[in-house]
Amino acid sequence: MLLILEPAGVLAKNNSQNHADRLELAGTCFERAIGNLQATEYAELRAAALANFASVLLLQERESPELDRLRARESLNEALRILRSLPATPEREKRIGLILMNRMRSGLEPD
């Protein structure tokens, strides 16, 4: 079940054009994946789920956009913390760069 949640969230997020229910589904998938990816061997998957969850929060049009932006910033910061704590590889450095670029484009200030 755990290995299905993150890809299902990505699929729902990538196909969410003007469908709030798909974004909601994606957010739910990422939240569950994040909650279940506590073990250190899943650190990289947890970072990916956190970054994708942040994207969903920023795309959703809900009643509390300020809270969603705060949660998105916290999720991106946690994803960066996790990736930076792992041994450096070209793929991880690329992911870190993408997260930083997305954070800047979204206007989210680092802590």
| 85 close to 77: Cβ distance less than 8 angstroms | no
> What percent of the chain stands above pLDDT 90?
32
pLDDT at res. 109: 75
pLDDT at 77 over 90: yes
Region at 92 (left for phi over 0; alpha for psi -120 to 50; beta for the rest): alpha
In this structure, is residue 71 part of a structural domain?
yes
In this structure, is residue 78 part of a structural domain?
yes
Residue 86: domain span: 2-105
In this structure, is residue 35 part of a structural domain?
yes
Both ends of the chain: CA-CA distance in Å?
A: 34
> In this predicted model, which residue has the larger pLDDT, 40 or 80?
80
- 62-73 pLDDT, tens per residue? 778 889 899 999
Q: Model confidence at 31, in pLDDT bands (50, 70, 90)? A: confident
If one counts the domains in the chain, the total is 1
Q: Model confidence at 76, in pLDDT bands (50, 70, 90)? A: very high
How many beta carbons lie within 10 A of that of residue 79, not counting itself? Answer: 25
Q: Average pLDDT for residues 85-111, to the nearest whole number?
A: 89
SS3 16: coil
pLDDT at 17 over 90: no
Please name which of 37, 54, 41 lies closest in space to residue 101, comparing C-alpha atoms: 54
In this structure, is residue 110 part of a structural domain?
no
